[in-house]
Chains A and B, each alone.
Chain A
Amino acid sequence: MTALTYLTGGLSLGSVYAIIALGYTMVYGIAKMLNFAHGDVIMIGGYVVFCTFTYMNLPVWLGLLLGMVVCTVLGIVIEKLAYKPLRGTSSLAVLITAIGVSYFLQNAALLVFGSAPKVFTSMFAKANNIELADGKLILTPETIFTILICVLIMIGLQVFITKTKMGKAMRAVSEDNDAARLMGINVNQAISTTFAIGSALAAVAGVLLCSSYPTLMPTTGAMPGIKAFTAAVFGGIGSIPGAMVGGLILGIIEILSRAYISTELSDAIVFGVLIVVLLVKPTGLLGRKITEKV
Chain B
Amino acid sequence: MKTVRAHGVKGMLKRALAVVMAGTMVLSMAACGSEAEPAAESGSATVKIGGIGPLTGSAAVYGNAVYHGAQIAVDEINAKDPNFQFELNFQDDENDAEKAVNAYQKLKDWGVQLLLGTVTTTPCVAVSAETFADRVFELTPSASSTDVTKGKDNVFQLCFTDPNQGTTAAKYLVDNNLGEKIAVIYNNADAYSTGIYNAFTAELKKSGKDVVYTGTFSSDDNADFSVQLTGAQSAGADLVFMPIYYTPASMILAQASKMNYAPTFFGVDGMDGILAMEGFNKDLAENLMLMTPFNPWSKDEKVAAFVKTYEEKYGETPNQFAADAYDVVYAFYAACQAKGVTAETPASDACEAFVEYFTTEAKFDGLTGKGMTWGTNGEVSKDPVVCVIQGGIYVDR
Contact = CB atoms under 8 A, between A and B. Distances in A.
Interface stretch (B191-199, B226-234, B294-302, B377-385): B226-234
Contact of B226 (A6, A54, A115, A264): A6
B223 A215 contact: yes
Given A114-B60, A223-B8, A263 B218 contact: yes
Nearest to B13: A99
A224 interface: yes
Find the residue from A50, A119, A120, A140 having the highest chain B CB count within 10 A.
Answer: A119
B29 interface: no
A135 interface: yes
Nearest to A121: B279
Contacts of A174: none
Contacts of B17: 100, 103-104, 107
Nearest to A266: B227
B28 A213 contact: no
Find the residue from A104, A116, A140, A212 having the highest chain B CB count within 10 A.
Answer: A116
B278 A118 contact: yes
A103 B24 CA distance: 13
Interface string B1-29: 00000011110010011001100100010
A110 B258 contact: no
Given A115-B59, A117-B277, A138-B260, A255 B247 contact: no
B38 interface: no
Contacts of A258: 227
Interface residues on B, range: 35 or more
B251 A138 contact: no
Given A215-B247, A219-B7, A6 B230 contact: yes
Interface of A is mostly: helix
Contact of A110 (B58, B224, B251, B280): B58
A213 B279 contact: no
Contacts of B247: 117, 215, 217
A129 interface: yes
Contacts of A103: 10, 13, 17, 20-21
B28 A138 contact: no
Contacts of B345: none
A5 interface: yes
Interface in B243-276: 247, 250-251, 254, 258-260, 276
Nearest to A10: B226
B278 A9 contact: no
Interface in B198-252: 215-219, 221, 223-224, 226-228, 230-231, 234, 247, 250-251
A201 interface: no
A120 B280 CA distance: 8
28 contacts: A5-B226, A6-B227, A6-B230, A9-B224, A12-B224, A96-B13, A96-B16, A100-B17, A100-B20, A103-B13, A104-B20, A107-B21, A107-B24, A110-B57, A111-B24, A116-B276, A118-B278, A118-B279, A119-B279, A120-B279, A140-B258, A214-B250, A215-B250, A217-B247, A259-B227, A263-B217, A263-B227, A264-B218
Given A5-B230, A119-B279, A259-B227, 17 more contacts: A6-B226, A9-B226, A9-B227, A103-B17, A103-B20, A114-B60, A116-B276, A129-B260, A213-B251, A214-B279, A215-B250, A219-B8, A222-B221, A223-B9, A223-B223, A263-B215, A263-B216
Interface of B: 7-10, 13, 16-17, 20-21, 24, 28, 57-61, 188, 215-219, 221, 223-224, 226-228, 230-231, 234, 247, 250-251, 254, 258-260, 276-281
